[in-house]
């Protein structure tokens, strides 16, 4: 065996022996640590058991002998009745209590425990002393009132002593329990670590066997591999160059001709600086020498900083990877050179795109913050509008014009509620409740809602199919998009006026635009105006967030970006075409749905009766909700703060049928009120009203009904009935 091979074998045997000894040592230390932790855990458990036997049991006996049915009870009965049986029982109670206190005194050495035992012992002895006096006064047939006043004892010190003993006992139990858990967790961690180490050792042994077998096979394949590597280098897509320690080129593959225009034979024996631009050759010589002194494998530097010089003198952007190996005792540097012209251009374009997306994301986050801030206050404003609309509708004649006017007010307030929800949904992508929606009905409602705001010199016409079609969308959001497009058209017409046309029809969807297994037909909605139109520069930015052509203060620049996001989230498209002086056409394309829409239940308020506790800090919301409760037949109790409601619960004896509270209350949270209601009246349902989504809060569980602001009288009555039914099912 060659000398080098013998040294290698000897080193391997020594390494295996050392590793085995280290493993044995580690196993021994590991076992000792496990035994120690187990002993510590058992010691803590034994201490906890001893604490229960030697402290908790005597302490309970003291409390039992002194408390109800014990010393105090029998002493009082003897004072009032004079029956000697009670005197004997009281004396026996005192003797047992003193015995248990002596037992505790011998065990509990803490200064505060000793003081507490003395307080209890002194009180027991007072009872013994006063018992003797009571016996004498009964023998003398003293008056009961005089006797009771004479032997009256203040037992507050004993109660304080018992509390101190409880606290000391709980502290000891907590300490023992904490230590026991700590050692138990440490033991679990050690066992888990041991299992992992065992698995690693087994895997290592298997891997070692595989390596030894593979090493033998590798020796056989080495010669073949050398030939295969040379063939691969020759056929590699990159330029591969071997450079010696003197900087001369030892080998170059044929790919150099395609990249730099040189024949391989022209570069053999030449300096590597031949391929470096002239302005960097001097610096490159220094870098090459530094690398030879301390070579590292990997990329030479960032690709954008490297250029290679071609045979015709031009430069080519490249990336270079370096590695080294020894050949015939000489260090050889292997350089792999790759053309990155295309990659660099794509990288620059991608970075520009990502910067634009980041800027847009920052703007959208700003929108989300603003939307969340105004939602609660705006919903509080809408609640009285919708509530008083319901109250007025209940009193106005069926065919009166006033009733129709109030209906318009309620519809507008409802649309405002949907817009607030949609604005919040825009700030929380994915929060889009979809259903089967009639496009023609949405167009009719949107045009009816916005028509009163259109100037007289603007003509709005609607054309297309009057019954259907259906799409899978959100009715409120679709109307929001339509209202936004119509409002933009009105603003584009300006003071000169003009006409706006809304068209709706169904046509075949191009095959390339269909989803897999999706509908073959699509709804086309067009909103066209004959205004001044837009330039190509404006068209390229029209859907960007915060882009607007309106004066400062008259446009947020969010309408079209929100509309674009809504339509695309439904697998639809929102497009625009326009030319200066030829008007503008916005086109909405949505896949037709063959499903049938769900029937909307009739809004009929369910009357009830009984007292309802209503807590809300907003006076208008509190007033209108109280009026609606009265209209429904309930007796509302209106409270403005949670503290006042808690005081009401403490003093009121009549149980309400339900408790309704705003979620966002000043001072104490509504969760405190809900907990107090559950403790006082477990069968009373708790209803939370809020303008936010409360599904993620811990206290909003199965026992709490959530009602979203602004509320109608129908929603209020339904919530009370459903909450009471669900509460009865739970109970």
pLDDT higher than 60, residue 302 = no
Pick from 81-95, 147-161, 633-647 the range whose average pLDDT is largest. 633-647
Q: How far is C-alpha 330 from the chain's CA centre? A: 60
What is the predicted pLDDT for the residue at 368? Answer: 59
Tokens found for residue 135: 């016996």
Structural domain spans, the chain? 3-196, 236-339, 432-591, 610-730
| Average pLDDT of the segment spanning 657-684 | 89
Q: Which CATH architecture has domain 432-591?
A: 2-Layer Sandwich (3.30)
| Average pLDDT of the segment spanning 329-337 | 80
| Average pLDDT of the segment spanning 199-220 | 71
pLDDT higher than 50, residue 729 = yes
Instruction: Using a pLDDT cut of 90, give the percent of the chain over it.
Output: 10
What is the predicted pLDDT for the residue at 553? Answer: 47
Angle subtended at Cα 112 by Cα 111 and Cα 117, rounded to the nearest 5 degrees: 100
| CA 666/CA 660 separation, integer angstroms | 16
Instruction: Using a pLDDT cut of 70, give the percent of the chain over it.
Output: 79
Pick from 19-23, 348-352, 477-481, 559-563 the range whose average pLDDT is largest. 477-481
pLDDT higher than 70, residue 230 = no
pLDDT higher than 90, residue 334 = no
236-339 to CATH, choices 3.30.70.1140, 3.40.50.20, 3.30.450.20, 3.40.50.300: 3.30.450.20
| CA 333/CA 322 separation, integer angstroms | 7
Q: 174-199: per-residue pLDDT in tens?
A: 887 888 788 788 878 888 887 887 78
The residue with greater pLDDT, 213 or 483, is 483
pLDDT higher than 50, residue 4 = no
Peptide bond into 469 cis (omega under 30): yes
| Average pLDDT of the segment spanning 300-322 | 74
| Average pLDDT of the segment spanning 5-25 | 70
Contact 496, 568 (CB under 8 A): no
What is the predicted pLDDT for the residue at 431? Answer: 47
Q: Which CATH architecture has domain 3-196?
A: Up-down Bundle (1.20)
What is the domain class of 610-730 according to CATH?
A: alpha beta
Angle subtended at Cα 406 by Cα 403 and Cα 409, rounded to the nearest 5 degrees: 155
Category of 633 on φ-ψ map: left (φ > 0), alpha (ψ -120 to 50) or beta: left
| Average pLDDT of the segment spanning 680-699 | 74
**CA distances for 13 relative to 3, 8, 9, 217, 219, angstroms:** 15, 9, 6, 21, 20
| CA 409/CA 413 separation, integer angstroms | 6
Q: 87-115: per-residue pLDDT in tens?
A: 888 888 888 888 888 888 888 888 898 88
| Average pLDDT of the segment spanning 251-271 | 85
Q: What is the DSSP string of 113-150?
A: HHHHHHHHHHHHHHHHHHHHHHHHHHHTT--HHHHHHH
Domains 236-339 and 432-591 share a fold: no
Query: 298, exposed or middle or buried, with CB in 10 Å at 0-12, 13-18, 19+?
Result: exposed
pLDDT band at 429 (very low <50, low <70, confident <90, very high): very low
| CA 386/CA 411 separation, integer angstroms | 9
* Sign of the C-alpha dihedral computed for residues 40, 46, 50 and 53 taken in this order: positive
What is the predicted pLDDT for the residue at 554? Answer: 52
Tokens found for residue 435: 């259903």
Q: How far is C-alpha 131 from the chain's CA centre? A: 67
Q: Which of 301-315, 407-421, 674-688 has the lowest mean pLDDT?
A: 301-315
Burial 307-329 (b: 16+ CB within 10 A, else e): bbbbeeeeebbbbbebeeeeeee
pLDDT higher than 50, residue 304 = no
pLDDT higher than 70, residue 40 = yes
Q: 49-86: per-residue pLDDT in tens?
A: 877 887 888 888 888 888 767 888 888 888 888 888 88
| CA 417/CA 409 separation, integer angstroms | 12
The residue with greater pLDDT, 589 or 228, is 589
| Average pLDDT of the segment spanning 220-225 | 63
pLDDT higher than 60, residue 513 = no
């Amino acid at each position: 065996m060659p000398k080098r091979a013998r040294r290698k074998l000897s080193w391997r045997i020594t390494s295996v022996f050392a590793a085995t000894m280290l493993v044995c040592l580690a196993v021994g230390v590991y076992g000792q640590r496990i035994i120690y932790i187990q002993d510590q855990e058992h010691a803590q458990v034994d201490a906890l058991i001893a604490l229960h036997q030697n402290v908790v049991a005597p302490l309970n006996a003291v409390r039992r002998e002194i408390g109800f049915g014990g010393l105090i009870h029998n002493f009082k009965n003897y004072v009032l009745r004079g029956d000697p049986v009670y005197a004997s029982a009281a004396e026996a109670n005192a003797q047992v209590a003193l015995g248990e206190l002596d037992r505790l005194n011998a065990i509990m050495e803490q200064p505060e425990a000793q003081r507490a035992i003395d307080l209890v012992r002194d009180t027991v002895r007072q009872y013994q002393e006063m018992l003797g006096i009571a016996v004498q006064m009964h023998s003398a047939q003293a008056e009961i009132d005089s006797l009771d006043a004479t032997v009256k004892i203040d037992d507050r010190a004993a109660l304080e002593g018992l509390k101190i003993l409880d606290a000391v006992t709980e502290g000891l139990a907590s300490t023992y329990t904490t230590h026991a858990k700590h050692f138990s967790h440490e033991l679990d961690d050690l066992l888990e670590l041991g299992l992992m180490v065992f698995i690693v050792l087994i895997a290592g042994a298997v891997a070692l066997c595989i390596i030894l077998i593979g090493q033998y096979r590798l020796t056989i394949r080495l010669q073949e591999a050398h030939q295969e590597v040379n063939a691969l280098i020759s056929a590699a897509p990159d330029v591969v160059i071997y450079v010696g320690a003197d900087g001369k080129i030892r080998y170059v593959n044929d790919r150099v001709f395609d990249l730099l225009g040189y024949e391989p034979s022209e570069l053999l024996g030449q300096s590597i600086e031949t391929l470096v631009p002239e302005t960097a050759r001097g610096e490159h010589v220094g870098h090459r020498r530094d690398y030879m002194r301390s070579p590292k494998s990997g990329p030479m530097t960032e690709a954008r900083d490297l250029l290679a010089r071609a045979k015709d003198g031009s430069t080519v952007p490249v990336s270079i990877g370096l590695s080294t190996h020894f050949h015939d005792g000489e260090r050889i540097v292997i350089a792999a050179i790759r053309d990155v012209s295309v990659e660099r251009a794509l990288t620059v374009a991608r970075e520009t795109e990502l910067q634009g997306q980041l800027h847009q994301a920052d703007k959208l986050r700003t929108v989300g913050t603003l939307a969340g801030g105004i939602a609660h206050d705006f919903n509080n404003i809408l609640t009285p509008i919708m509530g008083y609309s319901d109250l007025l509708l209940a009193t106005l004649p069926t065919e009166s014009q006033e009733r129709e006017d109030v209906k318009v007010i309620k519809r507008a307030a409802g649309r405002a509620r949907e817009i607030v929800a949609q604005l919040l949904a825009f700030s929380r992508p994915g929060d889009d409740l979809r259903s089967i929606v009639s496009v023609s009905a949405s167009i009719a409602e949107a045009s009816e809602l916005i028509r009163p705001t259109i100037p007289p010199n603007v003509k709005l016409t609607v054309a297309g199919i009057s019954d259907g079609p259906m799409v899978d969308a959100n009715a409120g959001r679709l109307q929001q998009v339509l209202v936004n497009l119509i409002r933009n058209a009105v603003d584009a017409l300006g003071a000169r006026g003009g006409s706006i046309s809304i068209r709706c029809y169904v046509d075949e969807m191009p095959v390339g635009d269909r989803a897999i297994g999706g509908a073959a037909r699509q709804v086309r909605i067009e909103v066209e105006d004959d205004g001044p139109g837009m330039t190509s520069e404006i068209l390229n930015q029209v859907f960007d967030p915060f882009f607007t052509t309106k004066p400062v203060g008259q446009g947020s620049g969010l309408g079209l970006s929100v509309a674009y996001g809504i339509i695309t989230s439904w697998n639809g498209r929102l497009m625009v075409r326009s030319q200066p002086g030829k008007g503008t056409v916005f086109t909405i394309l949505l896949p037709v749905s063959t499903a049938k829409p769900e029937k909307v239940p009739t809004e009929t308020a369910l009357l009830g009766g009984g007292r309802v506790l209503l807590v809300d800090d907003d006076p208008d919301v509190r007033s209108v909700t109280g009026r609606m409760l009265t209209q429904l037949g309930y007796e509302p109790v209106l409270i403005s703060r949670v503290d006042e409601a808690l005081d009401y619960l403490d003093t009121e004896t009549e149980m309400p049928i339900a408790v309704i509270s705003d979620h966002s209350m000043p001072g104490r949270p509504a969760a405190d009120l809900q907990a107090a209601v559950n403790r006082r009246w477990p069968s009373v349902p708790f209803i939370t009203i809020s303008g936010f989504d409360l599904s993620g809060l811990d206290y909003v569980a199965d026992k709490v009904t959530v009602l979203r602001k602004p509320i109608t009288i129908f929603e209020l009555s339904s919530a009370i009935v459903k909450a009471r039914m669900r509460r009865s099912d739970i109970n």
